[in-house]
Amino acid sequence: MPVFGMCYGFQAMVQALGGTVAHTGLGEYGSTQADVTDTGSTLFNGQPESQSVWMSHGDSVTEAPDGMRVTASTPGAPVAAFEDDDRRLYGVQWHPEVMHSTFGQRVLENFLRKGASLESEWTAGNVAEELVEQVRAQVGSDRVLCALSGGVDSAVAAAIVQRAVGDQLTCVHVDHGLLRAGEREQVESDFVDATGVDLIVYDAREQFLSALAGVTDPETKRKIIGREFIRAFEQAARDVVEDRGDDEHPVRWLVQGTLYPDVVESGGGEGAANIKSHHNVGGLPDDLQFQLVEPLRSLFKDEVRQVGLELDVPEAIVWRQPFPGPGLGIRIIGEVTADRLDILRRADAIAREELTAAGLDRDIWQCPVVLLADVRSVGVQGDGRTYGHPIVLRPVSSEDAMTADWSRVPYDVLATISGRITNEVREVNRVVLDVTSKPPGTIEWE
Ligand code: XMP
């Protein structure tokens, strides 16, 4: 069987095949330059000798297993790639699957086509059809509730379910009070107008705020938000049944737009560490009263967008930048209160407005705006001293959110955003830019 090991998989192959993996103290995180020593090899055929690769390793392979041809090295990884065509074994220390590994896609293609002799058959059309069929088989004639946030994931998930079971579907938009300015209205108008789905807006603002009172720990916040989400849906399900007087077809299914990266980062993949509990995976309560329909659970965001276009989801929704389910709750570092939400909402609206005006929406993957609510610094505005909060801008470029780099937003755009926020949001007297890639930072601050 052809095998391709990446990163930890690469090291696991070495361990299994008799090479050496050691803690050399030379970890590499983020963009790294690799020297390809054999550009005629199966993986690197026709590629340059020097290429940018995305690394995330603490241990390194210091000695390749017998029979392996070493084909690349980096400053912190003397053995950074190898292959053995006879046994069809291949490996690289870096992450070829992320866009920041410049020739990563070519390396993967070379493995699949040449190393494993496979042809490519994936198309958005095939996948959309398959997912529609799967949902139809899964839910039968039951009623289905879809958690609709207004973002691309839940919109595409809803579109798949709508195609599968039509008016058995009711969408619920929970307004948890952690939304950005104008978001609730956008869901109410844009999405419903485009798709004609049956939508209930459930106002749970009070419920979330009181559940979050006094909480500062990020994981606790995520768990609380996950739990309250489900409680709100359970209530919405009862409302749907009541409205329709349809006790015979209770709502058994809850559709969620969970993606593969959410599953992996919540510790759902085999051997994966829990980085943070995405509200829709690790944050779910144990006594959940629904079964989940998660048609996008094995897809990445770029694939979801392709499937969305295939299903005629409007482009304005398909290309929306990601916004996390726990919303502004995980962008206030410190306790979440109504006043703090109001400050952040105003700052965020300015940043979004200016990035859009500069035509940068499609260049930037997303730009979290973060309020450091427990930090204050001294400033001067007019003739007076201020003691206000900093706002962090976190614009990132990415393809799937598993890795990211900070976006080089033009200085004049940053200056406009900073000037407007400090002038228009009285409580903020400093705007700072986050220049950290992922890894080591995550995209959101919590
Ligand atoms: P991190 O912060 O893990 O974020 O680098 C990766 C991507 O996931 C989004 N994100 C979430 N999305 N529920 C979501 O629906 C969540 O709990 C959640 N946490 C993070 C984040 O905005 C980024 O796009």
What's the pLDDT score for residue 244? 66
What's the pLDDT score for residue 311? 92
What's the pLDDT score for residue 284? 63
Q: Identify the helix (H) or strand (E) that includes residue 235.
A: helix 218-244
Task: Quote the mean pLDDT of the chain.
Answer: 92
Instruction: Give 117 Cα–ligand 1 centroid separation in angstroms.
Output: 36
Average pLDDT on 261-269 reads 74
Catalytic residues, by residue number, are 7, 95, 97
Domain boundary among 318, 346, 376: 318
What's the pLDDT score for residue 39? 92
Q: Is the CB of 282 inside a 6 Å radius of any atom of ligand 1?
A: no
Query: What string of DSSP letters covers 111-139?
Result: IIIIIS-------HHHHHHHHHHHHHHHH
Q: Is the CB of 327 inside a 6 Å radius of any atom of ligand 1?
A: no
What's the pLDDT score for residue 274? 73
Q: Identify the helix (H) or strand (E) that includes residue 35.
A: strand 28-36
Instruction: Give 376 Cα–ligand 1 centroid separation in angstroms.
Output: 26
From 262, 321, 400, the mutation candidate for ligand 1 (largest count of ligand atoms within 8 A of CB) is 262
Instruction: Give 395 Cα–ligand 1 centroid separation in angstroms.
Output: 14
Average pLDDT on 212-217 reads 98
Instruction: Give 342 Cα–ligand 1 centroid separation in angstroms.
Output: 21
What's the pLDDT score for residue 281? 58
pLDDT-derived band of residue 122, with 50, 70 and 90 as boundaries? confident
Q: Locate 295 and state its tokens.
A: 């048609």
Cα–Cα distance, 157 to 161 (Å, whole number): 6
Domain boundary among 262, 295, 318: 318
Residue that the structure tokens 């490996």 belong to: 91
ipTM of the predicted assembly exceeds 0.85: yes
Average pLDDT on 300-326 reads 91
Describe the chain by its helix, strand, coil percentages, rounded to 5.
Answer: 35, 25, 40
Residues 61 and 88 in one domain: yes
Q: What is the CATH number of the domain that holds 128?
A: 3.40.50.620
pLDDT-derived band of residue 197, with 50, 70 and 90 as boundaries? confident
Domain boundary among 85, 115, 145: 115
Residue 438 carries which DSSP code? B
Does the annotation list 351 as a binding residue?
A: no
Does the annotation list 153 as a binding residue?
A: yes
Q: What is the CATH number of the domain that holds 342?
A: 3.30.300.10
Asked, for residue 307, whether it belongs to a domain, the answer is: yes
What's the pLDDT score for residue 110? 97
Question: Which ligand 1 atom is at minimum distance from the Cα of 445?
Answer: 2
Average pLDDT on 178-191 reads 88
pLDDT-derived band of residue 282, with 50, 70 and 90 as boundaries? low
Does the annotation list 149 as a binding residue?
A: yes
pLDDT-derived band of residue 7, with 50, 70 and 90 as boundaries? very high
Cα–Cα distance, 280 to 263 (Å, whole number): 9
- Give the domain extent around 34: 3-115
Query: What string of DSSP letters covers 346-369?
Result: HHHHHHHHHHHHTT-TTT-SB--E
Cα–Cα distance, 35 to 24 (Å, whole number): 19
What's the pLDDT score for residue 20? 97
What's the pLDDT score for residue 280? 63
Residues 68 and 104 in one domain: yes
pLDDT-derived band of residue 100, with 50, 70 and 90 as boundaries? confident
Q: Whose CA is nearest to atom 9 of ligand 1?
A: 324
pLDDT-derived band of residue 245, with 50, 70 and 90 as boundaries? low
Q: What angle do CA 39, 118, 116 make, to 5 degrees?
A: 55
Asked, for residue 326, whether it belongs to a domain, the answer is: no
CA–chain centroid gap for 300, Å, is: 9
**pLDDT at 283 exceeding the cut of 60:** no
Does the annotation list 243 as a binding residue?
A: no
Q: What is the pLDDT of residues 36-77, one digit of tens each?
A: 999 999 999 999 999 999 999 999 999 999 999 999 999 999
Cα–Cα distance, 311 to 120 (Å, whole number): 22
Whether residue 334 contacts residue 372, with contact meaning beta carbons closer than 8 Å, is answered with yes
Q: What are phi and psi of 64, to 5 degrees?
A: -75, 150
Q: What is the pLDDT of residues 216-239, one digit of tens each?
A: 999 999 999 989 988 888 888 788
pTM, to two decimals: 0.77
The count of structural domains within the chain is 3
Residues 337 and 191 in one domain: no
Residues 169 and 265 in one domain: yes
The residues facing 5 across adjacent strands are 91
From 264, 394, 444, the mutation candidate for ligand 1 (largest count of ligand atoms within 8 A of CB) is 444
CA distances in angstroms from 45 to 82, 97, 109, 111, 396, listed in the order given: 13, 17, 11, 11, 31
Helix (H, G, I), strand (E, B) or coil at 328: helix
**pLDDT at 379 exceeding the cut of 90:** yes
Residue 33 carries which DSSP code? E
- Alpha helices, DSSP H, located in 266-326: 301-310, 315-318
Cα–Cα distance, 150 to 387 (Å, whole number): 36
Q: Is the CB of 401 inside a 6 Å radius of any atom of ligand 1?
A: yes
Instruction: Give 444 Cα–ligand 1 centroid separation in angstroms.
Output: 7
Question: Which ligand 1 atom is at minimum distance from the Cα of 323?
Answer: 22
Q: What are phi and psi of 282, to 5 degrees?
A: -70, -15
Q: Whose CA is nearest to atom 12 of ligand 1?
A: 324
What percentage of the chain exceeds 90 in pLDDT?
Answer: 72
Query: What string of DSSP letters covers 385-415?
Result: EEEEEEEEE--EE-SSSSSBEE----HHHHH
Residues 153 and 296 in one domain: yes
The closest of 103, 83, 100 to 10, measured between CA atoms, is 83
**Peptide bond preceding 395: is omega within 30 degrees of 0, i.e. cis?**
no
Residues 155 and 293 in one domain: yes
Cα–Cα distance, 137 to 131 (Å, whole number): 10
Residue that the structure tokens 């040449």 belong to: 114
Q: Whose CA is nearest to atom 6 of ligand 1?
A: 401
Q: What is the CATH number of the domain that holds 88?
A: 3.40.50.880
**pLDDT at 269 exceeding the cut of 70:** no
What's the pLDDT score for residue 393? 98
Asked, for residue 257, whether it belongs to a domain, the answer is: yes
Q: Is the CB of 366 inside a 6 Å radius of any atom of ligand 1?
A: yes
Q: Locate 279 and state its tokens.
A: 């509200």
Residues 356 and 307 in one domain: no
Asked, for residue 325, whether it belongs to a domain, the answer is: no
What's the pLDDT score for residue 279? 61
The closest of 262, 268, 201 to 235, measured between CA atoms, is 201
Q: Specify burial of residue 412 (Cβ count, 10 A radius: 0-12, 13-18, 19+).
A: exposed
Residues 102 and 148 in one domain: no
Whether residue 407 contacts residue 363, with contact meaning beta carbons closer than 8 Å, is answered with yes
